[in-house]
């Protein structure tokens, strides 16, 4: 082939490729495009298809939720882990269970030799019993003395008090007699004086009267002394009573052994520490004691983990953190098996790597989650609840701007919207639509702003060119075939132009050979 033939052939091929690229670009982007929806209809469609009747289906926005799930690497932690230390030091006489065994709260893990401590407790208890018996005896004796003393007083057996009381009575009688004698002497003297008795008689009666006055005075003094003696006796009896009562109280105080009881209780508590039980139910993770070992309060004896409430921790970015809340459900995958849990802890500060730690409590896991193993965590990284949603296939894009077609009186109205997150089926509409808007969900190349559209069953029947009536089905089929034929027509134009270019190149090659 000559140089001119090659040039003609090359030009023909270039022209064909260029035309094909132009047609494909027109097909791919009739009105702009973007991810998540369909491309819009081009401007040519408005003029070419203005006379077509397009049948569409409509729907309204719904209130619903969209959850976008993210995948994270999680680490399994025991929901509760307890490190058991001995509370006393001593030789181990019992060491139960092995690593991997399941224990219940209260099960005996190990016991220490407590022989010496038990002897000390028994000795102190014996001493206390002896003290209590002695003190009780003293109390009973003091109480008996008090009862006897009070009884003697009531029965008149207190000699000092009785003598003093009798003496008072005696002095009262003597005073009364002296007063009687004095009154008699005075009467005798007054009678004799009235009768003008001799002076000797009056003098004698006067002397008797004076003697009896002195006797009354003496009896009065004797009575006062007797009464004072009685008061002194009563005081002595009261003091003696108080002394006896004090003896009783002293015996009662001696019968208080609080300090001894506290000492024994302390030893008994120490004895209880010699037997160590499991504080929680779970699995033995570590066991560091065996029989005949010497236990120390500074050394770990057992480690128990509660596997029934395992925790799974994972880390998220600050952006994802905004969508995670306490109580959110997450899914954990391990070896093609899944279980679920709830978020129970959210870090308020980022770790050194800039991520935030989330902890999830797993519930009733159907399989074992081993501590420190890794799992796959599926958690919501974006979500909307109770918001307006529309089908994702109803959304078009024009240079990145989302819009939909709204059905209004058999007219397609282009409405730009603001969208949020999406899933495989729906788009969250932030603004631009209301729940009453009727959104066109049928894609058609005949759609454009202001296009004439009809709902199924509402297309008006028009006469065909041959005089017959066009039905709704024939109108729909015509529209569908027209939409489907457009790319094929463009493709045919490419082939025709390619063949014409090839023919021109062959013709030029033949003319060159003839020359």
Interatomic CA distance for residues 181 and 213, integer angstroms = 9
Whether residue 194 has pLDDT greater than 50 = yes
Summarize pLDDT for 466-483 with one digit per residue, the tens: 555 555 555 455 545 444
SS3 content of the chain, % helix, strand, coil (to 5): 45, 30, 30
Q: Structure tokens of 365?
A: 């896991």
Better-scored residue on pLDDT, 471 or 350 = 350
Dihedral sign, Cα of residue 189, residue 195, residue 197, residue 199: positive
Beta-strand pair 396-398/337-346:
unpaired
pLDDT at 157: 52
Tell me the range of 255-269, 310-324, 425-439 where mean pLDDT is highest: 425-439
Mean pLDDT of 17-39: 41
Coil/strand/helix, residue 191: helix
User: For the chain, what is the radius of gyration of the CA atoms?
Assistant: 61
Closest C-alpha to 101, from 304, 373, 368? 304
Burial class, 171, CB count within 10 angstroms (exposed 0-12 / middle 13-18 / buried 19+): buried
Our CA angle for 474, 475, 481, nearest 5°, is: 85
Alpha helices by DSSP H, listed for 255-342, are: 258-273, 318-321
- Domain extents in the chain: 32-66+388-493, 82-113+274-304, 118-264
Residue 384 DSSP class: E
List beta partners, residue 387: 64
The pTM (predicted TM-score) of the whole model is 0.42
Q: Which H or E run contains 493?
A: helix 472-514
Interatomic CA distance for residues 465 and 480, integer angstroms = 19
Contacts of 441 (CB under 8 A, 6+ apart): 56, 57, 58, 59, 391, 393, 394
Whether residue 340 has pLDDT greater than 70 = yes
Q: Structure tokens of 283?
A: 């699995």
Interatomic CA distance for residues 58 and 55, integer angstroms = 10
**Range with the lowest mean pLDDT among 21-25, 54-58, 167-171, 342-346?**
21-25
Q: What percent of the chain has pLDDT over 70?
A: 75
pLDDT at 414: 94
pLDDT at 38: 52
Q: Structure tokens of 335?
A: 């070896």
CA distances from 180 to 168, 184, 185, 476 (A): 19, 6, 9, 157
Asked whether 406 and 362 are in contact (CB, 8 A), the reply is no
Interatomic CA distance for residues 426 and 143, integer angstroms = 96
The CB density around residue 1, as the number of other CB atoms within 10 Å, is 10
Indicate the pLDDT class of residue 129, thresholds 50, 70 and 90.
Answer: confident
CATH code, 82-113+274-304: 2.40.50.100
pLDDT at 25: 38
Whether residue 91 has pLDDT greater than 70 = yes
Closest C-alpha to 322, from 356, 361, 362? 356
Interatomic CA distance for residues 328 and 310, integer angstroms = 16
Summarize pLDDT for 198-253 with one digit per residue, the tens: 878 888 888 888 888 898 889 888 888 888 888 887 887 777 777 777 776 776 66
Instruction: Determine whether domain 32-66+388-493 maps to CATH 1.10.3720.10.
Output: no
Closest C-alpha to 172, from 244, 227, 214? 227
Asked whether 365 and 76 are in contact (CB, 8 A), the reply is no
Whether residue 3 has pLDDT greater than 50 = no
Q: Is it true that 32-66+388-493 and 118-264 share their CATH fold?
A: no
Q: Which H or E run contains 412?
A: strand 411-416
Contacts of 317 (CB under 8 A, 6+ apart): 354, 355, 356
Mean pLDDT of 23-29: 37
CATH class of 118-264: mainly alpha
Summarize pLDDT for 426-438 with one digit per residue, the tens: 999 999 999 999 9
**Residue holding tokens 């010497």?**
294
Q: What phi and psi, each to the nearest 5 degrees, are found at residue 429?
A: -95, 115
């Amino acid at each position: 082939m000559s140089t001119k033939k090659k040039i003609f052939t090359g030009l023909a091929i270039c022209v064909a490729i260029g035309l094909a690229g132009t047609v494909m670009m027109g097909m791919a982007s009739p009105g702009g495009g973007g991810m998540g929806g369909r491309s819009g209809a081009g401007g040519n469609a408005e003029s070419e298809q203005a006379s077509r009747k397009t049948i569409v289906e409509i729907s309204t926005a719904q209130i619903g939720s969209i959850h976008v799930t993210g995948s994270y690497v999680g680490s399994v932690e025991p929901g509760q882990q307890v490190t058991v230390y001995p509370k006393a030091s001593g030789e181990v006489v019992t060491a139960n269970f092995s690593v991997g065994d399941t224990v219940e709260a209260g099960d005996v893990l190990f016991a220490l030799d407590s022989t010496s401590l038990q002897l000390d407790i028994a000795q102190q208890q014996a001493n206390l019993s002896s003290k209590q018996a002695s003190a009780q005896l003293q109390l009973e004796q003091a109480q008996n003395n008090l009862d006897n003393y009070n009884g003697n007083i009531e029965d008149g057996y207190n000699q000092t008090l009785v003598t003093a009381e009798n003496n008072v009575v005696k002095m009262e009688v003597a005073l009364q007699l002296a007063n009687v004698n004095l009154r008699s002497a005075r009467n005798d003297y007054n009678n004799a004086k009235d009768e003008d008795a001799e002076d000797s008689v009056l003098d004698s009666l006067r002397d008797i009267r004076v003697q009896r006055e002195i006797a009354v005075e003496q009896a009065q003094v004797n009575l006062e002394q007797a009464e004072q003696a009685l008061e002194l006796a009563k005081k002595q009896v009261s003091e003696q009573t108080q002394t006896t009562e004090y003896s009783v109280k002293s015996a009662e105080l001696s019968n208080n052994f609080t300090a001894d009881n506290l000492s024994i209780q302390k030893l008994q508590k120490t004895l209880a520490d010699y037997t160590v039980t499991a504080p929680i139910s779970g699995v033995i993770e570590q066991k560091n004691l065996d029989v005949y070992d010497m236990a120390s309060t500074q050394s770990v004896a057992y480690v128990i983990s509660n596997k029934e409430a395992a925790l799974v921790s994972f880390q998220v970015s600050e952006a994802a953190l905004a969508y995670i809340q306490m109580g959110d459900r997450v899914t954990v995958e391990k070896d093609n098996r899944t279980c679920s849990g709830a978020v129970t802890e959210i870090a308020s500060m980022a770790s050194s790597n800039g991520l935030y730690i989330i902890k999830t409590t797993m519930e009733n896991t159907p399989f074992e989650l081993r501590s420190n193993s890794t799992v796959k965590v599926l958690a919501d990284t974006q979500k909307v609840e109770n918001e307006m949603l529309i089908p994702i296939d109803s959304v078009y894009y024009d240079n990145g701007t989302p819009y939909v077609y709204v059905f209004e009186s058999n007219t397609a109205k282009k409405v730009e919207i603001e969208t949020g997150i999406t899933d495989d089926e729906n788009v969250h509409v932030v603004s631009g639509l209301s729940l009453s808007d009727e959104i066109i969900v049928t894609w058609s190349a005949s759609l454009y702003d202001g296009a004439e559209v009809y709902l199924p069953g509402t297309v008006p029947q028009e006469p065909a060119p041959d005089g017959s009536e066009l039905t709704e089905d024939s109108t729909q089929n015509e529209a569908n075939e027209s939409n489907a034929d457009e790319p094929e027509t463009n493709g045919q134009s490419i082939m025709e132009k390619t063949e014409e270019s090839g023919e021109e190149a062959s013709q030029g090659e033949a003319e060159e050979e003839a020359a």
